[in-house]
Amino acid sequence: MMIAKWFNSSSALKKWTWLHKWSSLVCTLFMLMLCITGLPLIFFHEIAEATGTIVSAPNMAVDAPRANLDQVLAVAQSRYPDKKPMFVSQDEEDDRAWFITLANPTVPVSGYKQVAVDARTSQVLNEPPLEGGFMNIMLSLHVDLFAGLPGMIFLGVMGILFVISLVSGVVLYAPFMRKLAFGEIRQHLSTKTRRLDLHNFLGILTLAWCLIVGTTGAINSFGDLLVDHWKEDQLASMIAPYKGKPAPAKLGSFDAAMKSALAAEPNLALQFVAFPGTTFSSPYHYTFFMRGNEAFSKRLLKPVLVDASTSQLTDTRTLPWYFYVLKISQPLHFGDYGGLPMKILWALLDLLLIVVLISGLYLWVVKYRSQSRKVIPCAP
């Protein structure tokens, strides 16, 4: 009862009003940009299929022999002799192609190239573009504003402010809900009041979804920092016996390393492989990230470290809890759990949020202009 009285007191409402006003104003333009760029990203796979940029391997017998992975890597690297393999992956729904991502070993943060190679014949299928193009531009804007880690952290802070604006908005809207029917738009009052009622109604209507998307977006923005913490904590423990040793001058068989990883986790499937010295690995290992085969377990990865010189198993451990939070947040942010129906729902809610953001900004501009037009009389 005491807490309820405090929430409804005039001083508390003033504080919540200030908090809602400034948290909303600071993040609104950036949230609007994220909503606009996020809309096509919801249908990333569908757009890739429609535009013909998705890689499709030819049909073959189910028991067709698989190509040696060392040969697959050699074919991909022959396209870009000056670059080194960084990551290797397969599509979750189609294991007929390998995707090899290569980069300049001295400047591994740009100039990425990807080569899709047939997993049966080791023939090059395509070279999916990783930079440029409409979808990649939308993705870069949405993830880091083309600013790398600083951009990701900045957008993460904007996501936190967005969640604060939602919570404070609920606190301010709650007293009015006791006086009005849910979703009521007071048509008999001024245009400004009607627009405020509509803004509040759409905000409450999309509240749960906004909290989900805002929270998962903020978590995703700090993903690189979580990976760095994992490397300094768990990965450092796993590679402790290698401390002080030089990185291998020549890598051992990738095909043999793959067999070691699959033998260590026979009930799991491969998600992707990080090569020595890359973000998700150590200087001494191929790191195989394995996943389950169910809808939910596909998001829960388990790293398997294989010595890059000997192709022998080094260690495998369950990832810490914060990594699972990150991996669950990523697909949930884009509605990538329930197929096309869930994606359509996410898109519709995204459009409603755009209306909420624009209407909130409009209401503030109208209020600011009306206040600035007031003439304060001067003392004689």
Q: Can you tell me the distance from the alpha carbon of 333 to that of 209, in angstroms, rounded to the nearest whole number?
A: 10
pLDDT of residue 23: 92
Q: Are strands 124-126 and 269-274 parallel, antiparallel or unpaired?
A: unpaired
Instruction: Enumerate domains of the chain plus CATH numbers.
Output: 1-53+145-370 (no CATH), 56-128 (3.10.450)
pTM over 0.75: yes
Confidence band for 50, pLDDT divided at 50, 70 and 90: confident
| Measured CA distances, 9 to 14, 171, 350 (Å) | 9, 12, 34
Q: Can you tell me the distance from the alpha carbon of 143 to that of 145, in angstroms, rounded to the nearest whole number?
A: 6
pLDDT of residue 9: 64
pLDDT of residue 3: 45
Q: Can you tell me the distance from the alpha carbon of 361 to that of 291, in angstroms, rounded to the nearest whole number?
A: 43
* DSSP letter string, 50-91: HHT-S--PPP--TTPPPPPHHHHHHHHHHH-TT-EEEEEEEE
Cα dihedral 345→350→352→354 (10° resolution):
-170
Q: Which residue carries 């807490």 as its tokens? A: 3
Determine the number of helices (DSSP H) and then strands (DSSP E) in the chain.
13, 8
Q: What percent of the chain has pLDDT over 70?
A: 88
pLDDT of residue 366: 77
**pLDDT, average across residues 239-264:** 94
Task: Please list the helix, strand and coil fractions of the chain in percent, rounded to the nearest 5, in that order.
Answer: 55, 15, 30
Tell me the per-residue pLDDT of 355-364, one tens digit each, with 9 for 90 and over: 999 988 888 8
The closest alpha carbon to 340, from 45, 34, 37, belongs to: 45
Element (H, E) at 288: strand 285-291
Q: Can you tell me the distance from the alpha carbon of 88 to that of 99, in angstroms, rounded to the nearest whole number?
A: 6
Between residues 165 and 192, the one the model is more confident about = 165
pLDDT of residue 115: 95
Tell me the per-residue pLDDT of 175-228, one tens digit each, with 9 for 90 and over: 766 676 666 677 677 777 777 777 777 788 889 999 999 999 999 999 999 999
**pLDDT, average across residues 308-313:** 96
pLDDT of residue 37: 96
Q: Can you tell me the distance from the alpha carbon of 148 to that of 152, in angstroms, rounded to the nearest whole number?
A: 6
pLDDT of residue 232: 92
pLDDT of residue 183: 62
Residue 118 pLDDT exceeds 60: yes
Tell me the per-residue pLDDT of 256-266, one tens digit each, with 9 for 90 and over: 999 999 999 99
Residue 380 pLDDT exceeds 70: no
pLDDT of residue 364: 83
Q: Can you tell me the distance from the alpha carbon of 325 to that of 175, in angstroms, rounded to the nearest whole number?
A: 34
pLDDT of residue 176: 67
Q: Can you tell me the distance from the alpha carbon of 22 to that of 165, in angstroms, rounded to the nearest whole number?
A: 8
pLDDT of residue 5: 53
Helix (H, G, I), strand (E, B) or coil at 160: helix
pLDDT of residue 237: 94
Q: Can you tell me the distance from the alpha carbon of 16 to that of 86, in angstroms, rounded to the nearest whole number?
A: 49
293: amino acid identity, one letter: N
**DSSP annotation of 117:** E
Q: Can you tell me the distance from the alpha carbon of 265 to that of 293, in angstroms, rounded to the nearest whole number?
A: 13
Distance of CA 101 to the CA centre of its chain: 19
Number of Cβ within 10 Å of residue 342's Cβ equals: 15
Residues ≥6 apart with Cβ < 8 Å to 299: 291, 324, 327, 328, 330, 331
| Contact yes or no for 83/106 (Cβ under 8 A) | no
Sheet holding 124-126, edge to edge: 124-126, 113-118, 94-103, 84-91, 269-274, 285-291, 302-307, 313-316
Half-sphere exposure of 165 (CA within 13 A, CB side): 22
pLDDT of residue 217: 95
Residue 365 pLDDT exceeds 90: no
Q: What percent of the chain has pLDDT over 90?
A: 54
pLDDT of residue 109: 63
Positive/negative CA dihedral, 41, 46, 48, 50 = negative
Number of Cβ within 10 Å of residue 186's Cβ equals: 11
Tell me the per-residue pLDDT of 55-94, one tens digit each, with 9 for 90 and over: 777 787 777 899 999 999 999 999 999 999 999 999 877 8
Q: Can you tell me the distance from the alpha carbon of 203 to that of 287, in angstroms, rounded to the nearest whole number?
A: 44
Question: Mean of the per-residue pLDDT values for the chain?
Answer: 86
Tell me the per-residue pLDDT of 226-236, one tens digit each, with 9 for 90 and over: 999 999 999 99
Residue 312 pLDDT exceeds 80: yes
Q: Can you tell me the distance from the alpha carbon of 47 to that of 264, in angstroms, rounded to the nearest whole number?
A: 37
